[in-house]
Structure 1
Amino acid sequence: MAAKLPHVYQPVAEISPQIQSKKQRKMSTVSAMPEAFEKYTDYLNQLNEKRERVVKASRDVTMNSKKVIFQVHRISKHNKDEVLEKAAKDLEAVTDEYMLRLVRELHGSDFWKLRRAYSPAVQEYVEAATLCEFCKTGNLLKLAEINRSLLRLSDPSLEPLQINILDYLLGVGDLTGELMRLAIGRISDGELAYAERICTFVRDIYRKLTLVAPLMDDNSEMKKKMETMLQSVMKIENACFSVHVRGSEFIPILGSSDPNFSFLGVSDMDL
């Protein structure tokens, strides 16, 4: 009677079905890797293309928001209503045309992955919108109000683009710099009361943000904004203080058309 072969020499047909299924699963996994890698490559390519489109849309938002800000800086006590009306129309155009394009590009995607591409544009838009609101009402435009205005641009079936709290605060930080320039301009135009109101408003914003900034220690952008904001507050305060202390030497408009106006106390005939 022939001796039984050792177990290691048993035919393939006698191998356990469980071992065969494990081998099959291993082989199918290896064959699926190129397909998964190809899908991931396509995803990255689509994300890069979307990023390029978002950058272009953000550039348009930034540029046209700056135009709104420049329009507001044309304000004076003689043309306030006209300038603010024009600025409001320009801001509405930015929202309906350029912000709409940005919102559409970010529809249906994890837009937080592209935040660095569109965040500067959103901050500039917040700056323009809050500046217009302050000049019209003297109040700060809230984040909920801005996001409410963007809802109409979104497709209801998709997740809407909403400005986050960080971009809003960074935009408000930039607002204080524009208000500082506006205050200096109003002082030179003789509107000291308006400049003092701006000073109080900017000081209140800075005071409230000092309560929030410590919670964002890891954000370098916010630290820089806070430093710049403090400088803006000090510049407005110093300008208003100088006018009060040296009021007799204050010249509202250099080269006034008033016939009784004299430069540094010297009549025009003596110059």
Structure 2
Amino acid sequence: MFCLRGCHKLISSSLMAAKPNRLHQIAGASLQGSAKKPRTLVIDSAMKEGFTKYADYLNALNDKRERIVKASRDVTIHSKKVIFQVHRISRGNKEEVLANAENDLANVTNQYMSKLVKELQGTDFWKLRRAYTSGVQEYVEAATLCNFCTAGTLLNLSEINASLLPLSDPSVEPLQINVLDYLLGIADLTGELMRLAISRISDGEVDYARKICGFVRDIYRELTLLVPIMEDNTEMKKKMETMLQSVLKIENACYSVHTLNHEEETLHKIDAEQVTSKKCRNRLHLMKFLTGKQLQNFLNFMCNLFSWH
């Protein structure tokens, strides 16, 4: 009995001594299993080359966009100078001012529009349209303003695109100004014509201002039929409101001058009639005191002196 109890104690003590060691072994094994093994990323060479090409394409496109923005800014600045040159026109220097404006416009085309054409030729124009649309609109405005002042007509889109063809390489697709940018430039043209009409009225050229008024009115009437059926007409609708204000300003100015001239003519006519009637009364009053030979001598004297019959 004593031996069995002793064996039981010995076995239990040995098990108690072995249990902590076993727990340490299990904990160590679990920690080793929970540690993450380093992973190696295997990249396919074809995929890497594809992403590299896309990155190079986007970098080149961004650089090209920056160059186009700078070229468009130069076109805008120098086209505005052409417009300012046209506004220096007056009665005495019309031919000289228009000749200088045409020379400046030719320089804009050859020096600055040529850069824009070279950057955009052979590419998708609509993809980069927002980068160059402001410069193209200003160029259209300057070209059409010069053409109206010299020829009295509207420069159409085909004529503008034809003038840009010599600037591009014949082997690639040339830059062609789209219809939307052309119409936006024409809308801006009406504002410049309004300023020109007001300045011509102040210089006494009322007939020329009336010609401008009819021209701007025709443009507005035609565009009111076209704009509602355009797909992307948000920007054009805003400019149509400004165009209407320009038309009203020209019409009001011409109407005011016409009314003023009519009133002045009426006043001059009334004054002339009053002066004539007064002279007649004085002559009749004088003739009452002259009779016979005295009246005949007086009439002969007046005829010889004033050639009055």
TM-score (norm 2): 0.70
Max Rg structure? 2
Q: Distance in 2 between the 1:108 and 1:201 partners?
A: 37
Higher RCO (CA 8 Å, separation ≥ 6 residues): 1
Q: Distance in 2 between the 1:249 and 1:167 partners?
A: 45
Q: Percent identity?
A: 73
Residue 30 (structure 1) shift: 5.2
Q: Is the aligned partner of 1:71 residue 2:85? A: yes
Q: Which of 55, 59, 64 pairs up with 1:41?
A: 55
Q: Distance in 2 between the 1:218 and 1:110 partners?
A: 18
Superposition misfits of 4+ residues, deviation over 6 angstroms? none
Residue 107 (structure 1) shift: 2.4
Q: Distance in 2 between the 1:32 and 1:97 partners?
A: 44
Number of the residue aligned with 1:254 = none
Residue 225 (structure 1) shift: 1.0
Q: Which of 204, 208, 220 pairs up with 2:222?
A: 208
Pairs within 5 Å for 1:66-105: 66-105=80-119
Amino acid at match of 1:120: S
Q: Distance in 2 between the 1:96 and 1:49 partners?
A: 23
SS at match of 1:152: helix
Amino acid at match of 1:68: V
Number of the residue aligned with 1:142 = 156
SS at match of 1:33: helix
Residue by residue over 1:210-263, the C-alpha shift from the partner in whole angstroms, topping out at 9 and shown as x without a partner, is 11100125422101111111010000000001111223788xxxxxxxxxxxxx
Amino acid at match of 1:118: Y
Residue 37 (structure 1) shift: 1.4
Residue by residue over 1:48-88, the C-alpha shift from the partner in whole angstroms, topping out at 9 and shown as x without a partner, is 00000001111110000000000000001110000000000
Distance 1:38 1:77, change over 3 A: same
Q: Distance in 1 between the 2:215 and 2:125 partners?
A: 33
Q: Distance in 2 between the 1:246 and 1:77 partners?
A: 22
Q: Distance in 1 between the 2:70 and 2:142 partners?
A: 19
Amino acid at match of 1:182: L
Q: Which of 110, 126, 131 pairs up with 1:112?
A: 126
What stretches of structure 1 of length at least 5 have no aligned partner? Answer: 1-28, 251-271
Q: Is the aligned partner of 1:58 residue 2:72? A: yes
What stretches of structure 2 of length at least 5 have no aligned partner? Answer: 1-42, 265-309
SS at match of 1:136: helix
Residue 33 (structure 1) shift: 2.1
TM-score (norm 1): 0.79
Residue by residue over 1:171-228, the C-alpha shift from the partner in whole angstroms, topping out at 9 and shown as x without a partner, is 0000000000000000000100000000000000000011110012542210111111
